[in-house]
Amino acid sequence: MKKIILASASPRRKELLEQIGLAFDIIPSDIDEEIEARTSPEQYACTLSRSKAIDVAGHLAKGALVIGADTIVILGDSILGKPESRDDAFLMLKSLQGNWHEVITGITVVDTTDNKVVSDCEKTRVKMRQLSDDMIHAYIKTGEPMDKAGAYGIQKFGSLLVERIEGCYYNVVGLSLVRLGLIFEEFGFKLLK
């Protein structure tokens, strides 16, 4: 049995892996999340997830599967990362309100035994409801937007903002479990036994 390592400090990813009963350790990557923005959004998310997983795998002994993930929000041609301030969060939420956007999560798994790397991504369409400025400010006061791509989370208070989704709910939370399961199967590891 290989040791599973999550290369992320995201509490949401931790909760999702715990939800399916996976035993794992957390070793967050400290790579710079800025990469060349001229790639497609899918390549952008996959490149970041790959960089995180490879960074952590490089510090481990053989016998581990390292999971790297990165979630981005796409509105039109813009990639919305984590807000840098409350004002930034307000502007992001203002631009998203009433519109469809895409949430893309790149997922990479690295096997430290043979350095096999598999990357893929999941894409979900999300429609945010119309929001008043007061509602946006009230949501920002909860503190939820500050560590999330696009300045919102679909769980907790953020659930009041999302009108509809098309695709994987868990992807919007931060990690598509079905996509992770498919990637793990390429390593001969089944999440459901």
Domain interval for residue 94 = 3-185
3-state secondary structure of 60: coil
Please count the structural domains in the chain: 1
Structural domain contains residue 192: no
Q: What is the pLDDT of residues 37-66, one digit of tens each?
A: 567 899 989 999 999 999 999 998 899 999
Q: What is the pLDDT of residues 9-44, one digit of tens each?
A: 999 999 999 999 999 999 999 887 665 656 789 998
Structural domain contains residue 61: yes
Q: How many residues does the chain have?
A: 193
Q: How far apart are alpha carbons 128 and 119 in whole angstroms?
A: 29
Instruction: Count CA within 13 A, CB hemisphere, residue 68.
Output: 26
Structural domain contains residue 115: yes
Q: pTM of the predicted model, to two decimals? A: 0.92
Structural domain contains residue 68: yes
Among this protein's residues, is 77 annotated catalytic?
no
One of 70, 77, 88, 111 is an active-site residue; which one?
Answer: 70
Structural domain contains residue 146: yes
Domain with 179 in it: what CATH number? 3.90.950.10
Q: How far apart are alpha carbons 151 and 79 in whole angstroms?
A: 12
Residue type, 38: R
Give residue 24's Cα distance to chain centre: 18
Structural domain contains residue 27: yes
